[in-house]
Structure 1
């Protein structure tokens, strides 16, 4: 849907055979996947809270019991940790609010 809207804004149809990356570059827009990843990483405010904060307790909570068969469900925390590992971010980076915002801004502008 996003690319369809961007194609309409750029005045380009699928028949013109213009690559999506070219449209994204000409409109100076980052892909939706990047936007979602950066919004997931906006959890720095909870990381700065003390460990006895309810949000941090829930994040480290482990539920006991038997899981259903098949592939485990994707969890928000796992995605956040994977993105932090991918971009070599550490929890200590989130402790400085200004630095964390600058990191997220740089990730948003990176193509």
Structure 2
């Protein structure tokens, strides 16, 4: 966000919210782009062969206990939320062009 503020000639002292600056430079939130990249990577892994290391890691279960306290959200849990948010299913990933189109979080115009 610093770079966008610098591009617009705005400082934190001006008290202009990030939302307005993102609209001015026509970019979407970083979290939305991260969601898009997670979904695209998942589609790539699903379409690959069964012995691909990404598929083996997706099915892997690690024994042991986590630390005390609230558990950190795992990549798989975050992906599940992303897929529910977008309304995507595992079967949709087989059509690459459609998958990429559905996963896209477009930049504002």
Q: Which range, TM-score by smaller chain?
A: 0.7 to 0.9
Gaps of 5+ in 2: none
After superposition, what is the alpha-carbon deviation per residue over 1:63-110, rounded to whole angstroms, capped at 9, x for unaligned? Answer: 3344443333432122111111111111122110111121233x2336
Count, aligned residues: 108
Which residue of the partner structure matches residue 34 of structure 1? 32
2:17 to 4, 16, 19: 19
Gaps of 5+ in 1: none
CA RMSD of aligned residues (A): 2.2
Moved over 4 A (4+): none
Give the TM-score normalised by the residue count of structure 1.
0.80
Which residue of the partner structure matches residue 48 of structure 2? 49
Pairs within 5 Å for 1:1-111: 3-43=1-41, 44-105=43-104, 107-109=105-107
